[in-house]
Amino acid sequence: MRCDVSDATSDTESVIDRTAHRAIRDPDTVYQWLTYAGIGFFLTISLFPFYWLVVLALTPNRAIADMGVVPKGFNPGAFLEVFEVVPFHLYMLNSVIIASLSTIIVLTVGSIAGYVFGRYDFPGRTPLLLGILVISYFPPVAFLIPLFRLFTGQVTLIGLESPELYNTPWGIVMPLSAITMPLIIFLLTTFYRQIPDGLEDAARIEGSTRIGALRRVIVPLSAPGVATAGILTFIIVYNEFFFSYLMVNGTVEGWSPVLHGIFAFQGSQQVAYNLMAAASIIGVIPMAILVMIAQERIVSGLTQGALKE
Amino acid sequence: MSTDDRSATITGDRSRYRLDLAVLDWIERLSDTQFVYVMLLPVFALLGTMAIWPLLYTANISLHADNIVATNPVGEFVGLGNYVDILTGQANLQRPFFSLETPFTSAVPVTLLFTVGAVAVETVFGLAMALILNKEFRGRRWARVAMILPWAVPIVIQGMIFYLMFQPSIGFAVGPLNELGLISTTPLATSRDGLLIAILADVWKQSAFMALLILAGLQSIDRSLYDVADVAGASKLQQFRTITFPLVLPALLVALLFRTIGALKVYGLVEATSGCNTVPTLSCLVIGLWNGNRYGSAAAVAFIIAAVIGVLLLGYLAQLRRHERGEM
């Protein structure tokens, strides 16, 4: 008995011995293993939650109880049922429209500001940039009460009755455009600064107008930066919770985004866990596609925008 | 081309007068400073109505009493009364503002625990992820996509995922973790466990953001420093301590600051997992007061959050200035 145990340990010991020898002779292999272990660890952490959604979505709702980590059954029909129980496609459409409108506004207004801040040195530049930065540090709850009252027509601004934006896409688009604006302005400011001065000067000397030089020289050169800013804005607005939750009443007709579509499954009479999971997967798909095709832009945009601030 | 346009307007043939050219011409005659401010008008308009005006409005009502019964929910002027009441614990809130006896159900401790817990783990994970992604290996591109993916998940779905993992009747995690004594049998309805779940969910989503910022710092480090260290016979660990860590520190601090500010604002994640009743963060408190038509108190709490963020920011800037001076 004792003999057996010592045999077994001596066998493993020799393996450990050999490994240790190799590690000492060549420490780089250890770091190599550590790297692979790390990759495995982080990939598991990142991807397991998605796998868990797939497990739940594929299991028929009656069978969902005391789940392990494999599906109990195979019911891909849940992905279709999602659209029958709740008009989930319309919630998705609302989200895409809201995110697109915000992106258009942020890009139009933000690129002009980024251009000006990036290429002109003028009195008041630094205080203005600082002011814009300060706005981005306020929590969204500090904007909520006035904006909600404004959008529900309870405030008169400079003698004007405010338009009722509650339950319209603008109720979400306008505040989110403002809140995303600082990041985008900083991103585009650094981007426009990198365009060489000589090009614009040359166009001006050639007799082009200010706007003409802007249109023919700066705009074409700025396309990559603007694309990055656009992708980031779209992702941020699509993923946002606060205003998307509070500035609409939760109905499809009231322009509620995906967020309310997901919550709609919690409210239905019978709790359909499989549909919640399926809806979550569908809701993530647009973002997953964006990350796959545009990861370089997202990475550079996030790091530049954040580090330059 | 454009010179022709200009001369057309200047020679002033009335029949060919066009508004767009007139605008172009007017812009052309502005000084640089005037031009800049004209171009900034749209930003001022947007930020003015959607950010500055609301902030001033909130600041103003935070100085007025709550008025629950009247049609106008903003009561009489009370100065800093709301702030004093809230900070001294005299305000009548659904959950205590600050209580060390019930740290998991009072707003300030919950928010601070969430922030410190989440940001600490995110920093460690983010640094590890960044070090890995900085290495060359096959499939790095796809590894990076997989690691960024959680960052791009909508908050509501992030919440839903962790809600489904810790739902007692279905979640695989509840049984084993309960037997280990880590969580109760109903984690989503228990304040301490709800907070833990929120931290886990935040770590899952935000570690990648931290990693990307740190990675940018890593990639700006001059490779030749490592060659010198190799020649000098420094071990990998020594290289990390003397080269990598100090040089990546500024990027790491920026990432830390961003995440801390983000975590202090937490609301949606809590609402989508345990709910504001179980995990009452500061933002939850504001929403609760607002729903109860107590505008003055809600606004005051909102500005207390802003003040906490402001103090953090100033501290960070001071630290940064010292750091820069020390180096130069």
| Cα atoms in the Cβ-side hemisphere of radius 13 Å centred on A248 | 29
Is residue B13 pLDDT above 80, yes or no? no
Interface ipTM above 0.90: no
Q: What is the mean pLDDT of residues A213-237?
A: 89
The answer to whether B154 touches A237, Cβ cutoff 8 Å, is no
User: Is A158 found in the same domain as A20?
Assistant: no
Q: Are A206 and A304 in a shared domain?
A: yes
Q: Is the pLDDT of residue B141 over 60?
A: yes
Supply φ then ψ for residue B75, to 5 degrees.
-85, -160
What's the length of chain A? 309
Residue B137 has pLDDT above 90, yes or no: no
The pLDDT of residue B89 is: 82
Sole residue written with tokens 């195979």? A74
Per-residue H/E/C for chain B: CHHHHHHHHHHCCHHHCCHHHHHHHHHHHCCHHHHHHHHHHHHHHHHHHHHHHHHHHHHHHCCEEECCCCCCCEEEECCCHHHHHHHCCCCCCCCCCCCCCCCCCCHHHHHHHHHHHHHHHHHHHHHHHHHHHCCCCCCHHHHHHHHHHHHHCCHHHHHHHHHHHHCCCCCCCHHHHHHCCCCCCCHHHCHHHHHHHHHHHHHHHHHHHHHHHHHHHHHCCCCHHHHHHHHHCCCHHHHHHHHHHHHHHHHHHHHHHHHHHHHHCCCHHHHHCCCCCCCCCHHHHHHHHHHCCCHHHHHHHHHHHHHHHHHHHHHHHHHHHHHHHHHC
Is residue A70 a part of any domain in this protein?
no
Check if B202 contacts A (Cβ < 8 Å).
no
Q: What contacts A79, CB < 8 A, 6 or more positions away? A: A57, A278, A281, A282
Q: Write the CA distances from B48 to A132, A178, B239, B291, integer angstroms.
A: 11, 9, 50, 26
Q: What are the residues whose beta carbons fall under 8 Å from the beta carbon of B158, sequence distance 6 or more?
A: B150, B201, B204, B205, B269, B272
For residue B239, give Cα distances in angstroms to A33, A37, A136, B231, B247.
Answer: 18, 21, 37, 12, 11
For B69, how many CA atoms within 13 A lie in the half-sphere containing its CB? 0
Same domain, A40 and A160: no
Task: Assess whether pLDDT exceeds 90 at residue B316.
Answer: no
Q: To the nearest whole angstrom, how far is the Cα of A108 from the nearest Cα of chain B?
A: 9
- pLDDT at position B5: 47
CB contact under 8 A, B55 and A138: yes
Q: Are B105 and B85 in contact (CB under 8 A)?
A: no
The nearest alpha carbon in chain A to B142 belongs to A292
Which of A24, A59, A126, A138 to probe the B interface (max B CBs under 10 A)? A138
Three-state DSSP state, A158: coil
- Same domain for A47 and A153, yes or no, is no
CA dihedral A46, B112, B155, B142 (to 10 degrees): -20
Q: What is the pTM of this model?
A: 0.88
Closest CA to A95 of A274, A227, A285: A285
Note the pLDDT tens digit of each residue in B147-188.
Answer: 999 999 999 999 999 999 998 888 777 877 887 878 888 888
Query: Distance between CA A253 and CA A158 in Å, rounded?
Result: 31
Range of the domain at A27: 2-63
- Range B98-120 average pLDDT: 90
Last residue of a domain, one of A63, A86, A102: A63
CA-nearest residue of chain A to B305?
A139
If asked whether residues A39 and A172 sit together in one domain, one would say no
Q: Which of residues 69-128 of B touch A (CB under 8 A)?
A: 125, 128
Percent of chain B with pLDDT over 90: 44
Is A301 domain-assigned? yes
Q: Are residues A129 and A245 in the same domain?
A: yes
**Beta carbons of A212 and B2 less than 8 angstroms apart:** yes
Find the residue in A nearest to B33 (Cα): A122
- Angle, vertex CA B311, rays to CA B277 and CA B63, nearest 5: 65
pLDDT exceeds cutoff 80 at B8: no
Q: Which of A220, A214, A180, A174 is nearest to A305 (CA)?
A: A180
For chain B, domain boundaries: 1-30, 93-292
pLDDT digits (tens, 9 = 90+) for A239-265: 999 999 999 998 889 899 999 999 988
Number of H helices, E strands in chain A: 13, 2
Q: From the candidates A34, A102, A121, A141, which should be mutated to test the interface with B, based on the most B CB atoms within 10 A?
A: A141
Q: Is residue A129 part of a domain?
A: yes
CATH (domain of A133)? 1.10.3720.10
Which of A63, A89, A109 terminates a domain? The answer is: A63
Q: Which of A113, A210, A241 sits opposite B156 (nearest CB)?
A: A241
Half-sphere exposure of B122 (CA within 13 A, CB side): 33
Q: Could you tell me if A177 and A207 lie in one domain? A: yes
- Residue of chain A whose Cα is closest to the Cα of B303: A142
Classified as helix, coil or strand, A123 is coil
Residue A73 domain-assigned (yes or no): no
Q: Are residues A82 and A180 in the same domain?
A: yes
**Nearest to B130, CA basis, from B257, B221, B227:** B221
Task: Name which of A135, A262, A183 is nearest B155 in CA terms.
Answer: A262
Q: How many CB atoms lie within 10 A of CB A57?
A: 23
How far apart CA A103 and CA A228 sit, in angstroms, is 11
Single residue among A39, A63, A87 that ends a domain in this structure: A63
Tell me, yes or no, whether A82 and A213 share the same domain.
yes
pLDDT at A68: 78
pLDDT in tens, A32-91: 888 889 999 999 999 999 999 999 999 998 888 878 788 888 888 889 988 988 899 999
Using alpha carbons, select from A264, A234, A231 the residue that is nearest to residue A83: A264
Contact A57, A74 (CB under 8 A): no
Residue B106 pLDDT > 50:
yes
- Which range, A88-102, A201-215, B132-146, has the best average confidence (pLDDT)? A88-102
d(CA B100, CA B95): 13
Q: Which of B1, B128, B283 sits opposite A141 (nearest CB)?
A: B283
What is residue A164's three-state secondary structure? coil
Mean pLDDT of all residues in A279-305? 89
Whole-number Å distance between alpha carbons of B107 and B99: 8
In the predicted model, is pLDDT for residue B122 greater than 60?
yes
C-beta of residue B303 within 8 angstroms of C-beta of residue B62: yes
Rounded to the nearest 10 degrees, how much is the dihedral formed by the CA atoms of B233, B235, B240, B246?
A: -40
> What does the pLDDT read at residue B2?
45
Decide if B172 and A143 are in contact by the 8 Å CB cutoff. Answer: no
Q: Judge if A23 and A131 occupy the same domain.
A: no
Interface of A with B in 124-153 (CB under 8 A): 128, 132, 135, 137-148, 150
Q: Please report the pLDDT score of residue B17 as a whole number.
A: 66
B chain contacts of residue A208, beta-carbon cutoff 8 Å = 2
Residue B220 pLDDT exceeds 90: no
A20 and A110 in a single domain? The answer is: no
Cβ neighbours of residue A304 under 8 Å, at least 6 residues apart? Answer: A187, A190, A191, B216
Q: Is A96 on the interface with B (CB under 8 A)?
A: no
Show residues of chain B in contact with A53, CB under 8 Å: 161, 164
Phi-psi region of B79 (alpha: psi -120 to 50; beta: other; left: phi over 0): left
Q: Best interface-test mutation with B: which of A96, A148, A270, A303 has the largest number of B CBs within 10 A?
A: A303
pLDDT-based confidence at B272, cuts 50/70/90? very high
The total number of structural domains that make up chain A = 2
Domain assignment present for residue A69? The answer is: no
Average pLDDT over residues B25-53: 89
Q: Is pLDDT above 50 for A2?
A: no
Is a pLDDT exceeding 80 seen at residue B229?
A: yes
Dist CA B293 CA A15 (whole Å): 70
Query: For residue A228, what is the enclosing H or E element?
Result: helix A219-239
Q: Is the pLDDT of residue A94 over 60?
A: yes
What is B93-292's CATH number? 1.10.3720.10
Q: What's the confidence (pLDDT) of residue B51? A: 94
Q: How far is A242 from chain B (nearest CA, A)?
A: 6
Distance from CA of A3 to the nearest CA of B (A): 35
Minimum distance, in Å, between the CA of residue A148 and any CA atom of chain B: 10
Same domain, A210 and A83: yes
Question: How far is residue A163's CA from residue A186's CA, in Å, rounded to a whole number?
Answer: 31
Q: Is A80 helix (H, G, I), strand (E, B) or coil?
A: helix
- Determine contact: A3 vs chain B, CB below 8 A: no
